[in-house]
Structure 1
Amino acid sequence: MNLLQQLLWQTPIWVWVLLAFLVWRGIAAMRPGQTSLRKLAIVPALFSVWGIWSISHRYGGSPVAWGEWLAGICAGAAVGWLLLRRATLTVDASTGTLWRSADYSLLPLLLVTFVIKYGFETALAVAPGLSSNAGFSAAYLLLSGGFTGIFIGKYCRYLAASRRATPSGMQPAG
């Protein structure tokens, strides 16, 4: 069995379930529609939890590691916020339902994020010593935080749109 086959077979099943879920969410986002803030929070929450678990597991309480990851989140959040600057967001304040235009950026972002996280996690599983390599760790933490931040920034844009809605009904926001 070659290395690629070994990696694929030794990957936990939850990783493949997560990938299927992310693809499903990305495809669904390509259609305009109504959703709730709770549903929109799932992807940023998943990547945040995955990141927190990974950093805690590999770096413990290292202020440098947490600082690099948080710096990545801040930069990514700004990008995520800007990605939705032209999106049409309308909120029904009486139900809290948010209508959003199609988001063609989500599926590619989810796939790239998954591949990068999977690649780094695989490299760290195969060679745990990489976590002590400053350059590798910085790349891993900044990219992991950056992509997580993109999803957080997009969610913050949706959250801001919902906060600007008035109780009188449907209000454009963005």
Structure 2
Amino acid sequence: MSHIPAYVYCLFLLLLWMGISRCLPRTIRVERLAIMPVLMAILGFRGFEGLFSQPTMFDLLAAALGLCAGMAIGWHHVRTWNIGVDRERGSLSLPGDVMMLVIILATFAFEFLLHAAAETHSIWFSAPAVPSVAAAIWAGFIGMSVGRNLHLFSRYMNVPVEPVDQAG
């Protein structure tokens, strides 16, 4: 690839920092659970749109299946975590985990491979199944982040808010 824009390096470093920070135990506000799934979705849609002209129904079906599979993997991954919930502060205490770092690195490697194949006119890139497989893989990465964070959010919501003392 002849030119990689500078913003790609900055974005990669930002996401790498976010992934590494998730390897350590931390306390986050519950609203932050939306950041990575939204960011992954934007990058996935932008990446797919930049490489393939128009998604077919089969591409959309493959993406839906990839999203469901990724969500199941993400949901299953965090089901045994011991988390702390503070509903008054709206925060979650989470253990360190390498999953998000792996998702980020795999997503960048996958997208780099596709862009390199497109620019070098690799024979395999012109195969009819490539857009569908790419859609499924991208959606799978998005789904892992979504499933993980939906599970954490559902566990947060299942903890009752402490009632206000109404002693009289």
Please give the range of the TM-score, normalised by the shorter of the 2 chains.
0.7 to 0.9
Aligned-CA RMSD value = 2.3
Measured after TM superposition, the shift of residue 50 of structure 1 is 1.7
Q: Distance in 2 between matches of 1:130 and 1:12?
A: 25
Structure (1 or 2) with the greater helix fraction: 1
Are 1:16 and 2:4 counterparts? no
**Which structure would you say has the larger Rg?**
2
Give me the TM-score of the superposition, normalised by structure 1. Answer: 0.81
Question: What is the number of equivalent residue pairs in this alignment?
Answer: 162
Measured after TM superposition, the shift of residue 137 of structure 1 is 1.8
Matched residue, 2:35 = 42
Q: Deviations over 1:50-106 (max 9, x none)?
A: 222334452435222222112111101100111112212221111211111111222
Matched residue, 2:166 = none
Give me the TM-score of the superposition, normalised by structure 2. Answer: 0.84
Q: Distance in 1 between matches of 2:133 and 2:80?
A: 30
Helix, strand or coil: the match of 1:50? helix
| Alpha-carbon spacing, 1:10–1:103, altered in 2? closer, same or farther (3 Å) | same
Measured after TM superposition, the shift of residue 38 of structure 1 is 2.6
Q: Distance in 2 between matches of 1:59 and 1:65?
A: 12
Matched residue, 2:96 = 102
Q: % of aligned pairs identical?
A: 23
Higher relative contact order (CA 8 A, sep 6+): 2
Q: Name stretches of at least 5 consecutive residues in structure 1 with no aligned partner.
A: 1-6, 170-174
